[in-house]
Amino acid sequence: MHVFVRDWLSANNILLRSREGHVLIDTGYVSHAPLTLALLASKRGLGGEPLAKLVNTHGHSDHIGGNAAVRKAYGCPIAFPATEAPLVERWDETGLWLAYADQTAERFTVDELLHPGSTHVWGDLEWQLLAAPGHDMGALVFYNPEHRILVSGDALWENGFGLIMPPSLDPDALPATRDTLDVIAGLDVRVVIPGHGEPFRDVAAALDRAYMRTEAFEADEKRIGRHAVKVILVFNLLHRRRMPVADLPAYVDRVGIYRDINAKVLRMPPGALAAMLVDELTRAGVVRVEGGDLVPA
Ligand SMILES: [Zn+2]
């Protein structure tokens, strides 16, 4: 197994090698596809050998963006979480958080459906597929009981998990997040390979932090809303690279995910929402203002 640890725009790529055929999990953001292909072709990657299958943990742009390019390069089938496959089939730009969240991915088709509760042998290891709704209601995590490895996608990171929708937009997301943490807590995990960040071993501490965040979210819906719009904006800045601060009020009023969260949860004038985003993200040191533009720090 080799984990290509990427950044926050591209999810990690996990390569499971075996004589039975190599399997890749997740492909990063579309604009990073050339780097994904280069890593995959490298000595630590396939080194010229074929790829037997491409697997996704869930259907967000930072995990599926390179799917089409990888398939074009290797001609391999794509296995995808069954409950989300219809979104891919009709290329639902809202359901997949693409145009809806000012993100893009190259269109692909699904060849094999991955069902929660099923078991698959990838890279000579047996993986149990578990439903992991919350951040993405159709997401899966992959658990190998023999070596106690969990491929967690965005359901659990060392510090938190992927953004979730506020209850006013999706009443199921927050309770599902807690249930998914309970499922993970019930596994005997030695090492987590998350969708973002280095693999980590202190699973109990990560779960503590994730439960604390869930509790804070349960106590205050506005907190979920603010967290979600901040995370989305930082992600958008990573692929746009810069955005005029003056354009931000119109931007958060035009792009669906900001507009919906603001309309149902935050209820701020677009100018005030933009000002809050700039203020809180610059104070956190995540972005800075440079010549009138917002840029990732
Ligand atoms: Zn992700």
For residues 97-104, average pLDDT: 97
Residue 237 CA to residue 80 CA, distance in Å, equals 28
Strand ordering across the sheet containing 243-244: 243-244, 293-296, 287-290
Distance between Cα 8 and ligand 1 center (Å): 7
Question: Ligand 1 centre from 291 Cα, in Å?
Answer: 30
**Ligand 1 centre distance from Cα of residue 61 (Å):** 8
What is the CA(62)–ligand 1 centre distance, in A? Answer: 5
Complete edge-to-edge strand list for the sheet that includes strand 125-131: 119-122, 125-131, 140-144, 149-153, 191-194
Q: Kindly indicate the confidence band of residue 63, based on its pLDDT and cuts at 50, 70 and 90.
A: very high
Output the pLDDT for position 8.
84
Amino acid letter, 17: R
pLDDT of residue 294: 97
Compute, in angstroms, the gap from residue 67 CA to the centroid of ligand 1.
Answer: 14
Q: What is the whole-number distance in angstroms between the Cα of residue 64 and the centre of ligand 1?
A: 9
Name the residue among 89, 109, 108, 170 with its Cα closest to residue 136. 170
Q: Is the pLDDT of residue 18 over 90?
A: yes
CA distance 240 to 255: 14
Confidence of residue 84 (pLDDT cuts 50, 70, 90): very high
User: Average pLDDT, stretch 253-263?
Assistant: 98
Measured in Å, residue 9 CA sits from the centre of ligand 1 at: 8
8 A C-beta contact, residue 185 and residue 223: no
Q: Calculate how far, in angstroms, residue 137's C-alpha sits from the geometric centre of ligand 1.
A: 13
243 CA to middle of ligand 1, Å?
Answer: 22
Dist. CA 136–CA 155, nearest whole Å: 8
CA of 162 to the centre of ligand 1 (A): 7
111: how many CB neighbours lie within 10 A of its CB? 14
Question: How remote is the CA of residue 5 from the centroid of ligand 1, in Å?
Answer: 12
Question: How many residues in the chain?
Answer: 297
For the chain, the average pLDDT equals 97
68 Cα to the center of ligand 1, angstroms = 17
Sign of the alpha-carbon torsion through 112, 117, 118, 122: positive
Which residues surround the ion ligand 1 when the cut-off is CB under 5 Å?
Answer: 11, 62, 154, 195
Q: How far is CA 19 from the centre of its chain?
A: 29
CA-CA distance, 234 to 127, in Å (whole number)? 33
Q: What confidence score (pLDDT) does residue 7 get?
A: 87
In this predicted model, what pLDDT tens digit does every residue of 107-162 receive, in sequence order? 999 999 999 999 999 999 999 999 999 999 999 999 999 999 999 999 999 999 99
pTM of the full predicted structure? 0.96
Cα 63 to middle of ligand 1, angstroms: 6
**pLDDT score, position 2:** 97
Secondary structure class of 182 (helix, strand, coil)? helix
Give the pLDDT confidence of 178-231 residue by residue, as tens digits.
999 999 999 999 999 999 999 999 999 999 999 999 999 999 999 999 999 999
